[in-house]
A and B are shown apart, each in its own frame.
Chain A
Amino acid sequence: MTERKFDVLLPLDSSEVQRLHRNMKRRANRGRVWTYLGAGLIVLWILVPLFFLTSMAFTTREAVRSYPKSVLPFIPFSTDTVRFFLDQPGVVDGLWNSLIVAIITLLLSTILAAPAGYAIARYIFPGRDLVRLGILAVRAFPIVVLSIPLAVFFLRAGIFDSLYSLAFMHTALTMPTSVLIIASVFASVPHELEEAGQVFGASALQSFWHIVLPLALPGIAASSIFAFVLSWNEVFAAGVLTLENRTLPALLLVQLQQSSDAYQFAGGFFLMAPSIVFMFFIRNYLFNMWSQVTK
């Protein structure tokens, strides 16, 4: 092996070369610093309002009314506002109603969507692409167009202002998303696993139950949570379809003009809190859905 050295080049372990390399690395990483900065700014943009809302919800009502609001949060910390909110007429019921509707939506949506998702992932049946397209179309459809006739229909059928009917509508809204997510979850479980199970003596159903289902369960759970969040947050249909049995968003919507700041902050907090928690659990599954879509 020949080794040639230029006279100009300094030995590798000299301090000059080490310094040169350090500078080069620094220069190369400059771009990344800007990226971190940008990321940080965006994080602030998102978190500051949330933080503010939370601190307002957990402070005294005087602090809520006061001006200018102090920069320091949670001072004084108190559950006064929250308790005030919960004492308002209809609020606890609203929370309860929202919960019930969301749970029903979660169950219905998942139970109905799971078989369909499985079918789309595993079988090629006539009209499969049409079904997928139709499901996408549903997702993009104006909820506005649906709510009014449903209200009329429910009125005539006598089930207007019922939590069940609202849950049905929410299920109709969330089902496409559930089907798509569950389909992609099942698609990611290799078919060979099911077949292997059957080779080893399990029936198709046993194979599904013991092998595929446990693997798909996290994804299915994610889609259920997504349905829950969608239902919990939904405001337009809830406002149209409920009267006495309002869900929390519907209640807040109706009360918006005449309610005090404290009421609104606490209400906003209750609307926001479950969503933030749930988004933490399902953030990974968001991408599955869209990778399927942009095919």
Chain B
Amino acid sequence: MLVAPVLIFLGFFFAYPMYEGLRLSIWDDEAVLPLREGPSLKDSESGRLSQGVTVEVLGRQGNLLTDADATDLLTETWFRVAVTQPDGTTVDGWAPESRIRVREEGPDGTPLSGTVRPKLGEPDDPRTTLRDGPGEGGTEVAFVEPRAPAAIVEVAILEVWFNVRGTDPGESAQGWAPSRFIQVFGDEVTGRIDRGSAGEFTTEFIKKMFNDRFFDPAWRTTLLLLVLIIPAQFALALLMSLVIHARLKFNSWFLYVFTIPMGMSDLAVGTLFFSVFTGNGLLNSVLEGLGIIDSPHVFLSSQTRNWIILAIVVAEIWRSTSIVMVILVSGLQAIPDENLEAAELFGASYWQRVRYVMLPLLRPSVQVALILRTILALQVFAVVIALGGGDTVTVLTNETFRQYADFRNNNVAAAYALFVMVLSLASAFFYLRTVRTDTEIER
């Protein structure tokens, strides 16, 4: 009961996005366009065509606009008019805009009145049909003479629906669909399904990701960073935790300083090391001060990819070693002092004690730390951007961001995210298997 709010919140803001994120990567929301029996959403489905299929346009009809925000529509405007017939009677009905010539407009452009246009090309019956409602589907109410005066009472915007026929590899389908989904070519008899309104499972996005020209450099760099950073920082973290374990004087101050990087945002660290490695930064100043170089060495530029990688490695080690250290220190504290005293008494030197007693008993902690750090390292982002600009050196997370922000392709972005997740799970699984721990460590 007490746990409920947490679970609800997490379910909402975590489980749902997680599901959505995965879904976005493998589900194309606009893959298929359902065709209907008639030009209305209420009509039943008569078939489906995939996005991109060429179609023949068999007919068109206006339909009340259901979605005011839709884009790429073809629209028709219909007027409800009160027409004064030559015989003096007034008839009321709807006619398309093309049949009424607007002569008077209101101050804001609203058409107020006009006359009925003659129907060209039909000398036998030049009258215009009025219907009971907007759209060709309405029943005929009256026929009005050309040039009869008409007062425009109401305006309705209709979306044009097309009756199309096309062949999806294997099956052909025919039916009506709103114009916003169909692109009609100039000849007005052929067209193409621009996008669908129903989704289907697809590996398109994933394939797109694999073929994306940034994919290769991104995942290679990510893995390279992993291989360079993790072993180095675990060694450093071990040394740091041994220092803390030794309980020197000022131990709590050492601990505080050692954990400061944990509290810093990765962007801040990126900026920090940018200031170190940049042209007129700390490193160059020190090197020149020591006389090692004469002029500033360029570390961070599009030509010095390897230096940038090195800078990222240094920055990441600086930033993220603390959390490994915290885990290892907890593990070390769990080792009973008498075990280490016994080892010492029986002749083990300090490093023998580290190797034969501390490290084996640290295996569970190392496993946890490896899993956590690898998952976090796969998501390295801000440091890379700060030091490499995202182009010379790019990583998977950066590509996710690029797909989302620059290319506006949420689906491929989601595919990248999915890839990161798969790698994370795979690595966790790998560590659980290879870094074997004793199931029972006695007290």
Question: A residues engaging B (CB < 8 A)?
Answer: 31-32, 35-36, 38-39, 42-43, 45-47, 49-50, 52-53, 56, 65-71, 112-113, 115-116, 118-120, 125, 131, 134, 138, 140-153, 168-169, 171-172, 175-176, 179, 229, 232-236, 239-240, 249, 252-253, 256-257, 261, 264-265, 267-268, 271-272, 275-276, 278-280, 283, 286-287, 290-291, 293-294
Contact = CB atoms under 8 A, between A and B. Distances in A.
Given A141-B18, A149-B24, A256-B385, A249 B368 contact: no
B285 A69 contact: yes
A132 B259 CA distance: 25
Interface string B212-242: 0000000000000000000000001001101
Contact of B421 (A138, A145, A235): A145
Interface-centre pick from B10, B254, B375 (highest chain A CB count, 10 A): B10
B266 A235 contact: yes
B11 to A, nearest CB: 10
B58 to A, nearest CB: 34
B327 interface: yes
B401 A272 contact: no
A42 B285 contact: no
Interface SS, B side: helix
B285 A68 contact: yes
B418 interface: yes
A172 B16 CA distance: 11
Contact of B272 (A239, A272, A287, A293): A272
Nearest to A263: B271
B288 interface: yes
A275 B265 contact: yes
Contacts of A118: 2
Interface of B: 1-3, 5-7, 9-10, 13-14, 16-24, 236, 239-240, 242-243, 246, 248, 252, 254-268, 271-276, 278-282, 284-286, 288-289, 296, 318, 326-327, 329-331, 333-334, 350, 364-365, 368, 371-372, 375-376, 378-379, 381-382, 385-386, 389, 397, 400-401, 404-405, 410, 413-414, 416-418, 420-421, 424, 428
Contacts of B236: 42
A127 to B, nearest CB: 9
Nearest to B366: A294
17 contacts: A35-B246, A46-B257, A52-B275, A68-B285, A141-B375, A142-B378, A149-B24, A150-B20, A153-B20, A264-B275, A268-B275, A271-B267, A279-B256, A280-B256, A283-B256, A294-B334, A294-B365
Contact of A69 (B20, B239, B259, B281): B281
Contacts of B333: 287, 291
A49 B273 contact: yes
Contacts of A125: 3
Nearest to A292: B330
Contact of A287 (B16, B18, B242, B329): B329
B281 to A, nearest CB: 7
Contacts of B3: 115-116, 119-120, 125, 131
Given A142-B375, A175-B9, A294-B364, A265 B271 contact: yes
Contacts of A120: 3
Contact of B404 (A140, A148, A234): A148
B401 A172 contact: no
A249 B265 contact: yes
A286 B258 CA distance: 12
Given A144-B400, A256-B385, A279-B263, A43 B20 contact: no
Contacts of A42: 236, 239-240, 243, 258
A239 B385 CA distance: 13
